[in-house]
Structure 1
Amino acid sequence: MLSGKLGPHIEVVRRYDRTLPSLPGYPAELNQVWTNLIDNAVAAMTKEGGGGTLTVRTERDGELALVEFGDTGPGVPPEIRERIFDPFFTTKPVGSGTGLGLDISRRIVVDKHHGTLRLESVPGDTRFQVRLPLSADTEPGGPERPEESA
């Protein structure tokens, strides 16, 4: 998933908890979340022609799985953090972003998978943390049963 998105100046660090079970959920939609978070991290680090380190980490957090995407870019300024998940909000130049990636990601994680999506950011260390339940929690009469995802 990462190969086509990274330039020569991005180092990828993978820290996977191999003891995590498969997540119940909608794999295609979760892949969209991962892609959005990776795209944003790469864009932040290469904004000024630079590079950096993208860290992808998974671990168990009680009855939740934590999937964290970290980057060494300039960080998200405090004045825009409250709006970062709003629809049509973007910091990218006109024509480069729709401002829907984080909004859609939040909806997939929170509304569809009953998880959380959180941002922590200081210059040089920005982390988007996705926490998802390790057990399926679909409501009666809701959408079809989630598929197992790796």
Structure 2
Amino acid sequence: MQFKLVPEPPAALAFVGEVQAAVPLVPGDEDDCCARIIRRTDVGPRDEARTWLTFLRALELATEGPSGFTRTRREPDPERLRRAFRERVYGAETVLEILADADDPLAAGTVFERFESEIPHYERRKYGARLEEVWSERVRRLLGWAVLLDLAERVDGRYRSA
């Protein structure tokens, strides 16, 4: 399973652990978990907390079961996060391949142009005229996470494979 929601990358990877710690060990519904994330971290508003909750699931730092969401008992180890990011976040591997295939560092807009054909058809219908706005932001966030996870480098406002 792959997840599409990607939060704005934080300044430091340690923040991932802070958000994970805000997710309860005892299952809670989405509203309760989002409220805890907002209360215990700098994340807000609720939509961004929901995005973080989904992203933590992608990184295998939280799970969703029949009783709600819980945090996993694994630390946000950078190597494990890199693997989960590549395998479980929709578009991450493709963005990294685009960077690896480029001879020179690429602007985020160029990465989006090369990624655009990977956008699922139902997403095209869902967003219509807003497709480029929504997905170019997602690609920009994927690039930011790739840098944070040491999978890519940012050089003069452009990106290249690490």
Higher share of residues assigned helix: 2
Name the TM-score, length of structure 1 as normaliser. 0.32
Comparing both chains, which one has the higher relative contact order based on Cα–Cα distances under 8 Å and sequence gaps of 6 or more?
A: 1
Name the TM-score, length of structure 2 as normaliser. 0.30
Higher share of residues assigned strand: 1
